[in-house]
Structure 1
Amino acid sequence: MSQSYEMIFILRPDLSEDQVNQALNSYKEFLTTNNATNLEVKIWGKRRLAYPIQKKVDGIYVQFNYEADGTQIAPLERMMRLGEEVMRYLTIRLDTVAPSSEAEEKEGAEA
Protein backbone atom coordinates (compact mmCIF):
# COMPACT_ATOMS: atom_id res chain seq x y z
CA MET A 1 0.00 0.00 0.00
CA SER A 2 1.34 3.38 -0.95
CA GLN A 3 1.85 6.06 1.69
CA SER A 4 2.75 9.73 1.32
CA TYR A 5 6.13 10.79 2.67
CA GLU A 6 7.89 14.09 3.15
CA MET A 7 11.66 14.28 3.43
CA ILE A 8 13.52 17.46 4.26
CA PHE A 9 17.27 17.53 4.16
CA ILE A 10 19.98 20.15 4.48
CA LEU A 11 22.91 20.23 2.10
CA ARG A 12 26.27 21.85 2.88
CA PRO A 13 26.26 25.57 1.98
CA ASP A 14 29.65 25.40 0.23
CA LEU A 15 28.39 23.10 -2.55
CA SER A 16 28.32 24.49 -6.08
CA GLU A 17 25.09 24.50 -8.05
CA ASP A 18 26.34 21.55 -10.11
CA GLN A 19 27.10 19.55 -6.96
CA VAL A 20 23.65 20.32 -5.55
CA ASN A 21 21.99 19.22 -8.81
CA GLN A 22 24.12 16.06 -8.91
CA ALA A 23 23.10 15.14 -5.34
CA LEU A 24 19.42 15.85 -6.04
CA ASN A 25 19.50 13.81 -9.24
CA SER A 26 21.06 10.82 -7.50
CA TYR A 27 18.39 10.87 -4.75
CA LYS A 28 15.56 11.37 -7.27
CA GLU A 29 16.90 8.55 -9.43
CA PHE A 30 17.11 6.24 -6.41
CA LEU A 31 13.49 6.95 -5.49
CA THR A 32 12.14 6.49 -9.01
CA THR A 33 14.03 3.23 -9.57
CA ASN A 34 12.64 1.95 -6.26
CA ASN A 35 8.99 2.53 -7.23
CA ALA A 36 8.35 5.92 -5.63
CA THR A 37 5.67 7.91 -7.44
CA ASN A 38 4.47 11.53 -7.55
CA LEU A 39 7.91 12.85 -6.64
CA GLU A 40 7.90 16.60 -6.01
CA VAL A 41 11.12 18.50 -5.32
CA LYS A 42 11.15 21.93 -3.68
CA ILE A 43 14.46 23.69 -3.22
CA TRP A 44 14.07 26.24 -0.44
CA GLY A 45 17.54 27.65 -1.02
CA LYS A 46 20.24 28.71 1.39
CA ARG A 47 18.95 29.57 4.84
CA ARG A 48 20.33 30.25 8.29
CA LEU A 49 20.39 27.21 10.59
CA ALA A 50 18.86 27.35 14.06
CA TYR A 51 22.20 26.21 15.50
CA PRO A 52 25.60 25.41 13.97
CA ILE A 53 25.95 21.98 12.36
CA GLN A 54 29.46 20.79 11.55
CA LYS A 55 30.68 24.36 12.26
CA LYS A 56 28.39 25.75 9.54
CA VAL A 57 25.67 28.33 10.17
CA ASP A 58 23.91 28.13 6.76
CA GLY A 59 22.52 25.25 4.73
CA ILE A 60 20.68 24.53 1.49
CA TYR A 61 17.22 23.21 2.35
CA VAL A 62 15.48 20.73 0.04
CA GLN A 63 12.07 19.07 0.38
CA PHE A 64 10.97 15.84 -1.32
CA ASN A 65 7.33 14.76 -1.33
CA TYR A 66 6.58 11.32 -2.73
CA GLU A 67 4.38 8.26 -2.47
CA ALA A 68 5.96 4.88 -1.80
CA ASP A 69 5.55 1.68 0.18
CA GLY A 70 8.21 2.63 2.76
CA THR A 71 10.98 0.22 1.79
CA GLN A 72 12.91 3.08 0.17
CA ILE A 73 13.38 5.14 3.31
CA ALA A 74 16.17 3.25 5.11
CA PRO A 75 18.41 2.84 2.03
CA LEU A 76 17.91 6.48 1.03
CA GLU A 77 18.75 7.72 4.52
CA ARG A 78 21.81 5.46 4.50
CA MET A 79 22.93 7.06 1.23
CA MET A 80 22.56 10.49 2.82
CA ARG A 81 24.38 9.47 5.99
CA LEU A 82 27.35 8.05 4.07
CA GLY A 83 27.58 10.95 1.61
CA GLU A 84 29.33 14.12 2.64
CA GLU A 85 26.91 16.62 1.10
CA VAL A 86 23.96 16.12 3.51
CA MET A 87 24.23 17.61 7.00
CA ARG A 88 20.79 16.61 8.33
CA TYR A 89 17.69 14.79 7.07
CA LEU A 90 14.23 13.95 8.34
CA THR A 91 11.57 11.72 6.79
CA ILE A 92 7.98 11.74 8.00
CA ARG A 93 4.95 9.79 6.86
CA LEU A 94 2.05 12.08 6.07
CA ASP A 95 -1.43 11.11 7.21
CA THR A 96 -3.85 10.28 4.46
CA VAL A 97 -6.45 12.97 4.07
CA ALA A 98 -9.80 11.85 5.46
CA PRO A 99 -13.04 12.99 3.84
CA SER A 100 -14.15 16.38 5.03
CA SER A 101 -15.96 16.29 8.35
CA GLU A 102 -17.89 19.43 7.37
CA ALA A 103 -20.16 17.34 5.15
CA GLU A 104 -20.86 15.02 8.07
CA GLU A 105 -21.66 18.00 10.34
CA LYS A 106 -24.14 19.41 7.80
CA GLU A 107 -25.90 16.05 7.54
CA GLY A 108 -26.15 15.87 11.33
CA ALA A 109 -27.54 19.42 11.59
CA GLU A 110 -30.23 18.75 8.98
CA ALA A 111 -31.51 15.62 10.71
Structure 2
Amino acid sequence: MTNNYETMYILRPDLTEEQVEQAVTRYQNLLQEQGATQVEIQNRGKRRLAYEIAKHREGIYIQMNYQAPGTVIAQLERAMRLSDEVIRYLTIKQETPEIQESQASSPEEAAAMS
Protein backbone atom coordinates (compact mmCIF):
# COMPACT_ATOMS: atom_id res chain seq x y z
CA MET A 1 0.00 0.00 0.00
CA THR A 2 1.36 3.41 -0.93
CA ASN A 3 1.01 6.55 1.14
CA ASN A 4 1.81 10.21 0.55
CA TYR A 5 5.02 11.38 2.19
CA GLU A 6 6.93 14.62 2.45
CA THR A 7 10.65 14.62 3.20
CA MET A 8 12.42 17.85 3.98
CA TYR A 9 16.18 17.79 4.25
CA ILE A 10 18.89 20.39 4.74
CA LEU A 11 22.17 20.23 2.86
CA ARG A 12 25.42 21.89 3.95
CA PRO A 13 25.60 25.52 2.77
CA ASP A 14 29.12 25.18 1.35
CA LEU A 15 28.07 22.76 -1.42
CA THR A 16 28.32 23.90 -5.03
CA GLU A 17 25.26 23.95 -7.30
CA GLU A 18 26.56 20.81 -8.99
CA GLN A 19 26.94 18.98 -5.67
CA VAL A 20 23.42 20.02 -4.65
CA GLU A 21 22.02 18.69 -7.94
CA GLN A 22 23.92 15.42 -7.48
CA ALA A 23 22.53 14.96 -3.97
CA VAL A 24 18.96 15.75 -5.08
CA THR A 25 19.27 13.34 -8.02
CA ARG A 26 20.73 10.62 -5.79
CA TYR A 27 17.76 10.71 -3.39
CA GLN A 28 15.23 11.02 -6.21
CA ASN A 29 16.71 7.94 -7.94
CA LEU A 30 16.74 6.04 -4.64
CA LEU A 31 13.03 6.72 -4.21
CA GLN A 32 12.18 5.74 -7.78
CA GLU A 33 14.23 2.52 -7.57
CA GLN A 34 12.25 1.54 -4.47
CA GLY A 35 8.87 2.07 -6.16
CA ALA A 36 8.02 5.68 -5.31
CA THR A 37 5.81 7.54 -7.77
CA GLN A 38 4.85 11.17 -8.37
CA VAL A 39 8.15 12.43 -6.97
CA GLU A 40 8.08 16.23 -6.80
CA ILE A 41 11.18 18.13 -5.72
CA GLN A 42 11.35 21.75 -4.65
CA ASN A 43 14.66 23.47 -3.94
CA ARG A 44 13.81 26.03 -1.26
CA GLY A 45 17.26 27.59 -1.45
CA LYS A 46 19.75 28.66 1.18
CA ARG A 47 18.19 29.86 4.41
CA ARG A 48 19.37 30.77 7.87
CA LEU A 49 18.89 27.99 10.43
CA ALA A 50 17.01 28.61 13.65
CA TYR A 51 20.01 27.26 15.55
CA GLU A 52 23.51 26.11 14.68
CA ILE A 53 23.77 22.53 13.36
CA ALA A 54 27.22 20.95 13.01
CA LYS A 55 28.81 24.44 13.09
CA HIS A 56 26.60 25.65 10.21
CA ARG A 57 24.38 28.74 10.51
CA GLU A 58 22.74 28.28 7.07
CA GLY A 59 21.52 25.36 5.04
CA ILE A 60 20.08 24.51 1.63
CA TYR A 61 16.51 23.31 2.07
CA ILE A 62 15.11 20.64 -0.26
CA GLN A 63 11.53 19.35 -0.12
CA MET A 64 10.35 16.10 -1.74
CA ASN A 65 6.72 15.04 -2.01
CA TYR A 66 6.02 11.50 -3.22
CA GLN A 67 3.87 8.40 -3.00
CA ALA A 68 5.63 5.27 -1.81
CA PRO A 69 5.30 2.14 0.29
CA GLY A 70 6.33 2.67 3.91
CA THR A 71 9.42 0.47 3.55
CA VAL A 72 11.08 3.13 1.37
CA ILE A 73 11.37 5.62 4.24
CA ALA A 74 13.89 3.61 6.27
CA GLN A 75 16.18 3.19 3.26
CA LEU A 76 15.95 6.88 2.31
CA GLU A 77 16.63 8.07 5.87
CA ARG A 78 19.53 5.63 6.24
CA ALA A 79 21.15 7.03 3.10
CA MET A 80 20.68 10.58 4.42
CA ARG A 81 22.02 9.69 7.87
CA LEU A 82 25.21 8.25 6.33
CA SER A 83 25.72 11.23 4.01
CA ASP A 84 28.12 14.02 4.93
CA GLU A 85 26.09 16.45 2.81
CA VAL A 86 22.82 16.20 4.78
CA ILE A 87 22.81 17.96 8.15
CA ARG A 88 19.11 17.37 9.00
CA TYR A 89 16.14 15.48 7.54
CA LEU A 90 12.52 14.85 8.44
CA THR A 91 9.89 12.67 6.80
CA ILE A 92 6.20 13.01 7.53
CA LYS A 93 3.30 10.92 6.34
CA GLN A 94 0.59 13.10 4.90
CA GLU A 95 -2.93 12.13 5.75
CA THR A 96 -5.30 12.28 2.81
CA PRO A 97 -8.85 13.14 3.82
CA GLU A 98 -11.16 10.51 2.39
CA ILE A 99 -14.78 11.58 2.39
CA GLN A 100 -17.28 8.93 1.54
CA GLU A 101 -20.18 10.05 -0.61
CA SER A 102 -22.66 8.34 1.71
CA GLN A 103 -21.65 10.73 4.52
CA ALA A 104 -22.63 13.86 2.60
CA SER A 105 -26.36 14.42 2.26
CA SER A 106 -26.14 16.70 -0.77
CA PRO A 107 -23.65 17.38 -3.57
CA GLU A 108 -23.16 20.90 -2.21
CA GLU A 109 -22.02 19.53 1.17
CA ALA A 110 -19.68 17.07 -0.54
CA ALA A 111 -18.14 19.93 -2.55
CA ALA A 112 -17.79 22.08 0.58
CA MET A 113 -16.02 19.26 2.47
CA SER A 114 -13.38 18.65 -0.20
- Could you state the TM-score of these two structures normalised by the residue count of structure 2? 0.87
Separation in 2, partners of 1:105, 1:50 = 47
Cα RMSD between the aligned structures? 2.0
The reply on whether 1:89 has 2:89 as its aligned counterpart is yes
* 1:67-105 residue CA offsets vs partner (Å, 9 max, x unmatched): 01111111111111111000000000000122399x837
What is the TM-score when the length of structure 1 is the normalising length?
0.89
Partner of 1:80: 80
Contiguous gaps of at least 5 residues in structure 1 = none
**Partner in structure 1 of residue 52 of structure 2:** 52
Count of residues paired in the alignment: 107
Q: Deviations over 1:10-46 (max 9, x none)?
A: 0000000000000011100010011000000001000
* 2:66 counterpart residue number: 66
Q: Which amino acid aligns with 1:14?
A: D
Quote the Cα distance in structure 2 between the aligned partners of 1:6 and 1:75.
15
Unaligned runs of 5+ in 2: 110-114
Moved over 6 A (4+): none
Name the counterpart of 1:17: 17
Letter in 2 for 1:5: Y
